[in-house]
A and B are shown apart, each in its own frame.
Chain A
Amino acid sequence: MYAFDFEKPTSLNEAVTALQTEEAMPLGGGQTLIPSLKQRLAAPSKLVSLRGVDEIRGICRDDAGRICIGGGTTHAEVAAGVPEYPALAALAANIGDPAVRNRGTIGGSLANNDPSACYPAAALASGATIVTNTREIAADDYFEGMFMTALEEGEIITEVRFPVPEKAHYEKFEQPASRFALVGVFVAKFADGVRVAVTGASEEGVFRWSEAEAALASDFTPEAVQGLSVPAEGMIGDLHGSPEYRAHLVGVMTRRAVAAAG
């Protein structure tokens, strides 16, 4: 690691102020950031730990019935804390290993927007709202490609609000080494339509598969998406799978997600 300053504020205001310093970065669970610091791939002037900011941690419900998860809430807390949204709980319960789940946070995951991460699929498929210290961002406007988001420098994710679908499921096909998603598909059926979000597959990061959404809106069965496919072009090709393979898996995982959502 390169040398950096460290602050551990106890309120959101203090955190925001601490982040005014040039090249300062928030530190969530550190499950992504600390390995990149160790590799000397990041050189922040200051790390501002959000771990002591209680106001952005925890799970509650708002008047619209949405689940509101504080940006500093760990994966383990989400896994145990959203019984009315089993697909989301299961997703959180299957991220990494216990150590990762006890440290890693939903805010950190969404801020990082790894193209193979799980939470982006949940947020996009649920039509979640990402709340920061300055504004509310609809998931549809938030994800801007691999590791790119609508967040400004120093902006903190304070909360993520999830509408609860009637039916939902996240089907993840694991990359054998990292066990991140080689392809992960989150389907969510609401009264007014179906949303399908795909992670792990595209060079543009998480995306909505609108063709599948349309087909499922009228017929929420695996058969409805049987003949559909995404083009291989634009899919990630690496050691673990070709663009063709990933495109194929998008279809398979979508059908399985719909079948499992019931």
Chain B
Amino acid sequence: MPKDHGIGAASKRREDVRFLTGTGNYTDDINLPRQLYVHFLRSDVAHGEIRHIDTGAAEAMPGVKRVFTGKDFEGVGGLPCGWQVTDRHGQPMQEPAHPVIAQGKVRYVGEILAAVVADSRERARDAAEAIEFDIAELPAVVDMKAALAPDAPKVHDDLDGNLCYDWGFVEENRETVDAAIREAAHVTTLELVNNRLVANPMEPRVAVGDYSRADDQSTLYTTSQNPHVIRLLMGAFVLGIPEHKLRVVAPDVGGGFGSKIFHYAEEAFCTFAARQLGRPVKWTSTRSEAFMSDAHGRDHVTKIELALDADNNFTALRTETHANMGAYLSTFAPSVPTWLHGTLMAGNYKTPNIYVNVKAVFTNTVPVDAYRGAGRPEATFQLERVIDKAARELGVDPIALRRQNFVTEFPYATPVAVEYDTGDYNATMDKLEEIADIKGFAARRKESEARGKLRGLGVNAYIEACGIAPSNLVGQLGARAGLYDAATVRVNATGSISVMVGAHSHGQGHETAFPQVISEMLGIGEDQVEIVHGDTSKIPFGMGTYGSRSLAVCGSAMVRATEKVVAKAKKIAAHLLEAAEADIELRDGKFTVAGTDKEVAWGDVTLAAYVPHNYPLEDVEPGLEETAFYDPANFTYPAGAYACEVEVDPETGKVTIERFAAADDFGNVINPMIVDGQVHGGLAQGIGQALLENCAYDENGQLVSASYMDYAMPRADDVPFYTVDHSCQTPCTHNPLGVKGCGEAGAIGSPPTIVNAVIDALHSGGHKVDHIDMPLTPSRVWAAMQG
């Protein structure tokens, strides 16, 4: 019988009550007395020298308090980059200054040129139009390879060209890999683009800065996935405010998908301006602004070569990727194409020799950073596409080729520096073949063909690294912060519990899933547990939510803290029951003495902790509250296998997804319903990337897909009814919950599945098309069919 509470129960998401009834408290719902509004004047050219800005007329407009330009930020720090990559030659990456407001030059369409603070949004906007400025337009670099040409215009005049870094991984293996490819029986080569995306969370970004002169406190309310990271970066590097004088609050957040990890200029501006003006300053992004100021995702151009021996064993893999950084380094940008991408190039396979080269390039475009999956979708896409192409070239079954090369023994140390603790890739592939009814495909294809449609089947495996991450490891890799997490379990006198967590929930359902764990551990009702997150003045110093890390890292911290609570509570119970501590057991919300019928309820023990009249004060402090920090020993490695069937309309090139099945191994599952939802959402985003979404610039650096009129988001009728399964479970071996993380899997595993299926469909119609770059829009598919 399915459980109705605790670990494994499909408990309903309690937070949905407020989200669905319009009673959530989002940043834009926060309005402070005497609040002012900022409008940002943004560059409409991609590259130009700022010759002159005159704010006089704007400042004289009604309601305007002040107009800020780059000059006002000359003494202020720039936006920091949280990760330093070391290049092939042992040199640090090139790291340009990243001002809050443009200084000297503008470098992308959307960069902040000036900021008007006024008593209403419309007045601020009116005044922005009165700012006089003269920008001498410079030639823009948009294409990455063109940006690396010796005579290319430089995005940053003080850097040595537009190359941020040239990274080799593992550099020592380069020659071995080259030799293995030279000697291979077969080499399959593929060049492909991982398309640039805009995250487009439903809630655009908002920031409200506040300053209290009375106690010299700054507060920033912001749409963030990680309020402590923002406090750290903004306080220490930009504004010079010590932690105890700066509070960052991220209340309900309407989706992030990575784009709300980063510290943005608008946040620093509102905090800074509130202090300067002594009044709260608010910014609410419009959707149009979001397109040109939220960090973009992906944007890789890759050449991948897969070498096989005469028996079709993978012998070597070599990749060369150009990764677009945009005009500046966003917070975690350098890590995405390197440590989140190169380390996953082994995929699910025991390829012995792997070399990954990544050239990160500055261009006159919006900065690019992590987006759902971050680096891992790019790795999975190229690998699973090249394997499919190899199977076609060799005339072998693509599933059999994968199975033949799967890693089957764990732990497995890959040639790209990570060690998979556990997994069973054949098990998820078996499950997939069953739930996708691969056997029935031939009949379904016939049926489609009878209707004049081409039908294709795409199958692939994927692996990812989640639970980011061991601090000592990421420190060696260039992270400028630790990546542990923290939880405080505060047991109240009556036994109810508030858990303050460093993770941040912006759609993931922590408020439901985390209490399930505590309910399981203590045997009390889930409704007795409340999760508190998103306010640095309330929660311990944790690093927030991204990289499917919340449960694996922060959940583990919560388990550790709860274990400490239980240990202390047992001491109290032993005293109350006049028994030895070693004999005390906790079950179903009661402490019992082993082998007797003596018991004391959870609530009586917690009450004793706060009303310590009959209490072992000489041994135990009053109160029941514990904090734990948890730093994992390794990443976690969720993996799985996906199958997709598409129909292609041969006359129009339109692709429709007919079936999609996902067999995932997430280790232990706390709430299967939430996991289903996470996979559904991830798949929708994967489908968006594969078929619809395309962030496009023209050659002058103008954003062509700057609204929903041209940027196609997946809608309900673009996605099929999914068949998802997570019954294959190889629990993570190194965290107390045995969980691996499920937030990104769908977006990582699905783009190659869909492209593989479309290519298969085209081949069935006699179109010998090797590859089409995403998104596979009708016009692109049609053009490919024309040859």
A positions within 8 Å CB-CB of B: 1-2, 39-40, 173, 176-178, 182, 239-242, 245, 248-249, 252
Contacts and interface: CB of A to CB of B under 8 A. Distances in A.
B710 A177 contact: yes
A242 B783 contact: yes
A178 B708 contact: yes
Contacts of A245: 778-779, 782-783
30 contacts: A2-B126, A39-B288, A40-B125, A173-B654, A173-B778, A176-B691, A176-B692, A176-B777, A176-B778, A177-B692, A177-B705, A177-B708, A177-B711, A177-B712, A178-B708, A178-B709, A178-B710, A239-B694, A240-B777, A240-B779, A241-B777, A241-B778, A241-B779, A242-B779, A242-B783, A245-B778, A245-B779, A245-B783, A249-B652, A252-B651
A239 B709 contact: no
Interface in B638-654: 651-652, 654
Contacts of B694: 239
Contacts of A239: 694, 696, 704-705, 710
**10 closest pairs, A vs B, by CB?**
A177-B712, A241-B779, A176-B712, A178-B709, A245-B779, A252-B651, A177-B710, A176-B692, A239-B696, A239-B704
Contacts of B779: 240-242, 245
Contacts of B712: 176-177
Contacts of B125: 40
A178 B706 CA distance: 12
A182 B705 CA distance: 16
Given A1-B122, A39-B288, A242-B783, A177 B778 contact: no
B777 A252 contact: no
A228 to B, nearest CB: 15
Interface string B763-787: 0000000000000011100110000
A249 B786 CA distance: 14
A252 B652 contact: yes
B709 A177 contact: yes
| Binding site secondary structure of chain B | loop
A14 to B, nearest CB: 29
A151 B775 CA distance: 40
Given A173-B654, A176-B692, 17 more contacts: A173-B652, A173-B778, A176-B712, A177-B708, A177-B709, A177-B712, A178-B708, A178-B709, A239-B705, A240-B710, A240-B777, A241-B779, A242-B779, A242-B783, A245-B778, A245-B782, A249-B652
A242 B780 CA distance: 9
Interface of B: 122, 125-126, 288, 651-652, 654, 691-692, 694, 696, 704-705, 708-713, 777-779, 782-783
A49 to B, nearest CB: 21
Nearest to B129: A40
| Binding site secondary structure of chain A | loop
A248 B783 CA distance: 11
Contacts of A40: 125
A173 B653 CA distance: 11
A241 B782 CA distance: 10
Nearest to A242: B779
Listed residue (B125, B126, B692, B777) with the most chain A CB atoms within 10 angstroms of its CB = B777
Contact of B782 (A39, A177, A248): A248
A188 B561 CA distance: 73
Nearest to A97: B715
A166 B692 CA distance: 38
Nearest to B126: A2
B709 to A, nearest CB: 4
Listed residue (A1, A40, A176, A245) with the most chain B CB atoms within 10 angstroms of its CB = A176
A114 to B, nearest CB: 11
Contacts of A2: 126
A252 B779 CA distance: 13
B129 to A, nearest CB: 8
Contacts of A241: 777-779
A253 to B, nearest CB: 9
A173 B122 CA distance: 39
A105 B691 CA distance: 32
A240 B778 CA distance: 8
A240 B122 CA distance: 34
A248 B652 CA distance: 8
A2 B127 CA distance: 12
Nearest to B715: A179
A248 B778 CA distance: 12
Contacts of B652: 173, 249, 252
A117 B235 CA distance: 51
A252 B651 CA distance: 7
A162 to B, nearest CB: 28
Nearest to A255: B651
B458 to A, nearest CB: 20
Listed residue (A39, A177, A182, A240) with the most chain B CB atoms within 10 angstroms of its CB = A177
Contacts of A173: 652, 654, 778
Nearest to A245: B779
Contacts of A176: 691-692, 712, 777-778
B370 to A, nearest CB: 24
B661 to A, nearest CB: 24
Contacts of B713: 177
A246 B102 CA distance: 42
Contacts of A252: 651-652
B140 to A, nearest CB: 18
A252 B452 CA distance: 14
Contacts of B709: 177-178
B193 to A, nearest CB: 15
A242 B696 CA distance: 15
A157 to B, nearest CB: 24
A225 to B, nearest CB: 13
A177 B125 CA distance: 28
Nearest to A183: B652
Listed residue (B651, B696, B705, B713) with the most chain A CB atoms within 10 angstroms of its CB = B651
Listed residue (A239, A242, A248, A249) with the most chain B CB atoms within 10 angstroms of its CB = A239
Contacts of B691: 176
A177 B694 CA distance: 10
A143 B777 CA distance: 30
Contacts of B778: 173, 176, 182, 241, 245
A249 B653 CA distance: 10
B273 to A, nearest CB: 23
B700 to A, nearest CB: 15
B144 to A, nearest CB: 19
Contacts of B288: 39
A176 B691 CA distance: 9
Contacts of A178: 708-710
Nearest to B286: A38
Nearest to B698: A239
A73 B319 CA distance: 59
A185 to B, nearest CB: 13
B384 to A, nearest CB: 24
Nearest to B694: A239
A1 B123 CA distance: 10
Contacts of B782: 245, 248
A249 B654 CA distance: 11
Contacts of A182: 778
Nearest to B709: A178
A108 B760 CA distance: 45
Contacts of A1: 122
A182 B712 CA distance: 13
A1 B777 CA distance: 35
Contacts of B704: 239
A182 B779 CA distance: 10
Contacts of A248: 782
Nearest to B779: A241
Nearest to A1: B122
Listed residue (B126, B692, B713, B778) with the most chain A CB atoms within 10 angstroms of its CB = B778
Contacts of B692: 176-177
A199 B692 CA distance: 22
A241 B652 CA distance: 11
A176 B709 CA distance: 9
